[in-house]
Amino acid sequence: MTTQTVEYIRYRIPETQSAEFLAAFTRAAAQLAAAPQCVDYELARSEEDFEHYILRITWTSTEDHIDGFRKSDLFPDFLAETRPYAANTDEARHYKPTSVRGTGASVPSLYDWAGGADAFARLTDVFYAKVVEDDLLGPLFADLPAEHADHVALWIGEVFGGPAGYSEQQGGHGHMVAKHVGKNISEPQRRRWVELIQDAADEAGLPTDAEFRSAFCAYVEWGTRLAVYFSGPDAARPAEQPVPRWNWGAAPPYQG
């Protein structure tokens, strides 16, 4: 489970100081951008009351913020720019995300864009029909259970923003990782997996627009490379995590 924390700092800045305030925080942002403990940040201004601002900073953890960033060489310059507005602060607290989260419908999920459960069922049916006949991958899946394609369809569907069917029925990310332990998947096998699932996506009628295929291929590369790692002899099992949720953008680098 992620340890990220979100710091909210609320300011009340008189209109006469707003330009100076924004300039100071623009300079301070350079220190946040250079901090490995900082995930992202944003300064927002109220539309209803122009004197109200909220600075949101996502940290890798509260400890990384306090014991890392605040003790780093970056902090003095950050503090020099922001300290003059300490008296204008209404709140400065760290918040942990809860399970209540999601996205609206302004942008469809990859799951919906692809065509939902039926699309991913077609994908895995076509894909595993290819796999069992493939000289390179066939031996790896010699004892393939009849329900395997259905389970992978649930997994990909959940990853792409669909229902949590895999988590509810199979046990989430840890269960998927366990399926690869000890398999010793080779790089040629990984590349063939990537090739065949892209062919299967074409044959199963998944969307061919550049945006969807970019996200699809990015996930396939990410997922297969993790599979190779976890199948190896020196892999460290990760802490239990939820199923990853893919979107139209890119994922951050995997750091264990």
The residue with greater pLDDT, 144 or 87, is 87
What does the pLDDT look like over 27-72, one tens digit per residue?
999 999 999 999 999 999 999 999 999 999 999 999 999 999 999 9
What does the pLDDT look like over 186-238, one tens digit per residue?
999 999 999 999 999 999 999 999 899 999 999 999 999 999 998 998 887 76
Q: Answer whether residue 158 is part of any domain.
A: yes
Residues 146, 57 share a domain: no
Residues 25, 130 share a domain: no
Residues 76, 145 share a domain: no
Q: Answer whether residue 145 is part of any domain.
A: yes
175 annotated as belonging to a binding site for a ligand: yes
Query: How many structural domains are present in the chain?
Result: 2
The pLDDT of residue 47 is: 97
The chain-wide mean pLDDT, for the chain, equals: 91
d(CA 123, CA 198): 9
CATH of the domain at 47: 3.30.70.100
The pLDDT of residue 44 is: 98
Structure tokens at 213: 């295929």
Cut 0.85: pTM above it: no
Q: Supply the range of the domain harboring residue 152.
A: 110-231
Residues 122, 225 share a domain: yes
The pLDDT of residue 252 is: 52
Q: What are the phi and psi torsion angles at 56 (to 5°)?
A: -110, 125
Residues 140, 38 share a domain: no
CATH of the domain at 125: 1.10.490.10
Residues 226, 114 share a domain: yes
The pLDDT of residue 190 is: 96
Residues 125, 73 share a domain: no
Contact by Cβ (8 Å): 93, 178: no
What does the pLDDT look like over 94-139, one tens digit per residue?
999 887 877 788 889 999 999 999 999 999 999 999 999 999 999 9
Q: Which of 95, 120, 141 is the last residue of a domain?
A: 95
What one-character-per-residue DSSP string does 171-214 give? -SHHHHHHTTTT----HHHHHHHHHHHHHHHHHTT----HHHHH
d(CA 211, CA 109): 12
The residue with greater pLDDT, 142 or 126, is 126
The pLDDT of residue 1 is: 39
Q: Answer whether residue 53 is part of any domain.
A: yes
151 annotated as belonging to a binding site for a ligand: yes
Q: Which of 45, 68, 95 is the last residue of a domain?
A: 95
